[in-house]
Amino acid sequence: MLMKELNFEKTMLGNGAPLYVMHMPHAHSVAAGIFVKGGTRDEIWPKEAGLAHALEHMSFQGTKNFPTSKDLSAYLEEIGGDHNAWTSSEGTFYHNRVPVSHKDRGFRVLAEMLREPLIPQDKIRIEMKNIIEEIRRANDDPDQFLGLLDQGFVYGSHPLGKNTLGTIESVSGFTQDNFLEFRRRYYRVHNYVFLVAGNITVEEAKQAFEEFFSSDKDEQSINVYEPAPLGTVLERKLVHKKDLEQVHICLSAPLGKGLEKTTRSIGTFSTMLSGGMSFPLFQEVRDKRGLCYEIHANVSRDSDV
């Protein structure tokens, strides 16, 4: 019975977009989210570097019926809910969680943010300054900085080699027109994936989303990625000198496509290795040998690799 409850059930909305529902009748909350198929690899570099992530930030800066970021967040937080988002190479995921008695608020906020964000001109400069600090923080954090170096070294000019945060130069120059143009290209109902988990049935979730998201007037094709071949990495090692008290090391290898069974299996295996302090990686390398303070493994799965 438990395994059945932990499976997503797929259905299609009237607008043609897929909806995945995990019905958890024992839960006291409902988590809802929308994945927009438009991410870092869809940006026109260098002028749009980091635009998908920056648009994620601006989508929280008020909507038609909640004109400020405070208004938008307070609508969920006053009943114990919360919301957030993240951006990857292939899209942006907006999500929230609310008590089951107020599940309508979660759907409404998602609709407001994706359909009617204000993207106020006077907030762009301020929010872009915040993202610039996010870029600087990543450069100052050894783990994050190593991850960026590794990404660029492994992928090179491949679309997946782009930094989701963009560059300080590009982010500093974003205008309202840049955000509206990216929204025009990718923020369309046909380009969304809808997800819900919690104390809600498939029919309830379907009805809630269909109330807010009807079909687009001018349908466009769904954003599907053609696999891009990896370039040949001539050098097998990259050493970057930085003024730190530690040495940080990353070992990487390309795998198959993200949805292939073998790749998903290795993802499960990486969790088996480094799921916590009682798992083999931590126990062998840190606890028994004292070789490092922190060690972990993970698999990053994208369409290509």
**Helix/strand/coil for 29:** strand
- The two structure tokens encoding residue 79: 């009943």
| The model's pTM | 0.92
Rounded Cα distance between 266 and 253, Å, is: 12
Rounded Cα distance between 38 and 58, Å, is: 15
| Cβ proximity of 37 and 17 under 8 Å | no
Taking only the tens place, the pLDDT of each residue in 92-136 is 999 999 999 999 999 999 999 999 999 999 999 999 999 999 999
Q: Flag whether pLDDT at 230 surpasses 90.
A: no
Going from N- to C-terminal start, the domains of the chain cover 2-212, 253-305
Total residue length of the chain: 305
Taking only the tens place, the pLDDT of each residue in 194-227 is 999 999 999 999 999 999 998 766 666 788 888 7
The pLDDT score that the predictor gives to residue 42 is 96
- Specify the pairing of strand 29-36 against strand 91-99: antiparallel
Rounded Cα distance between 214 and 209, Å, is: 9
Rounded Cα distance between 185 and 152, Å, is: 26
Rounded Cα distance between 59 and 129, Å, is: 16
Taking only the tens place, the pLDDT of each residue in 166-176 is 999 999 999 99
Taking only the tens place, the pLDDT of each residue in 235-246 is 889 999 999 999
pLDDT band at 3 (very low <50, low <70, confident <90, very high): very low
Q: What is the dihedral of CA 77, 205, 187, 91, to 10 degrees?
A: 80
CATH topology of domain 2-212: Cytochrome Bc1 Complex; Chain A, domain 1 (3.30.830)
Rounded Cα distance between 267 and 89, Å, is: 18
- Nearest of 74, 155, 67, 144 to residue 112 by alpha carbon: 67
